[in-house]
Amino acid sequence: MTLKEARERVGKTQSEMAEMLGISRNYLALIESGKRPESIDILQRALLIVNKQSVGLTKEEWRDRALAAEAKLANLKKTMLAWIEQI
């Protein structure tokens, strides 16, 4: 699940979600469009927001969310390591 999909799932506008995440709407738009990477901190905050508003999910849906979050974090780690290698 992407950050945009998570935002849409909880029915938030970019402005509302950005405020909840503590970032600007413009920065959220850049993340959602793939022009800026998501930080681990932003992903963690988004996960908390979505989880708080996701009461009633099935066990499979929770598992799918956990696997998707794990994949995103692994991808972010690879990106960060690649950036470090360039320094």
- What CATH number is associated with residue 69? 1.10.260.40
Residue 59's SS3 state is helix
Number of domains in the chain: 1
53 contact partners, CB below 8 Å, separation of at least 6? 10
**pLDDT of 65:** 76
Tokens of 49: 């927001």
Q: Tens digits of per-residue pLDDT, 70-87?
A: 888 888 889 999 999 998
**pTM strictly above 0.75:** no
Q: Tens digits of per-residue pLDDT, 18-74?
A: 998 999 999 999 999 989 988 888 888 888 888 776 666 677 877 887 788 888 888
Residue 12 structural domain: 3-86
**pLDDT of 67:** 86
C-alpha 48/C-alpha 6 separation (Å) is 11
Question: How many other CB atoms are found less than 10 A from the CB of residue 48?
Answer: 12
Tokens of 6: 């998570």
